[in-house]
Amino acid sequence: MDNVRHLKAELRFGYAIETCASPSIVAELVDEAHVVYHLAAAVGVNLIVESPVRTIETNVHCKDVVLAQASKSASQSSWPSPRSRRSWDGCRRGRG
């Protein structure tokens, strides 16, 4: 995770390496967040050429899960939220 190494010391920053396909995992992470950035995607020329339908399904499904959970969270909180500012990027199992 070289691209976020410099942010790890920031108290307002956090990330998780998880699957975005699981609504329960996404709900837990969104509940902890003030701001959500979904940066993960199934990409790569070989993957897209070899499995175009699966690639699209993965990207669309994960985006649907993230947006659904984020909209539920937004409708249940006031602005600005008293929650800490955290962001997360979901893709594989494990937490950062």
pLDDT, position 81: 40
Domain count, the chain: 1
What are the tens digits of pLDDT across the range 50-71?
A: 999 988 888 889 889 988 998 8
* Residue 9 resides in a domain: no
Tokens at 15, concatenated = 């990330």
User: 3-class DSSP state for residue 41?
Assistant: coil
Closest among 59, 24, 56 to 39, alpha carbons compared: 59
Of the pLDDT bands very low, low, confident and very high (cuts 50, 70, 90), residue 23 is very high
- Asked whether the beta carbons of 77 and 83 are under 8 A apart, the reply is yes
Tokens at 57, concatenated = 């399904």
**Domain span including residue 66:** 15-96
pTM for this predicted structure: 0.62
Q: What angle do CA 5, 40, 88 make, to 5 degrees?
A: 55
* Residue 96 resides in a domain: yes
Instruction: List, in sequence order, the alpha helices (H) in 51-94.
Output: 52-75
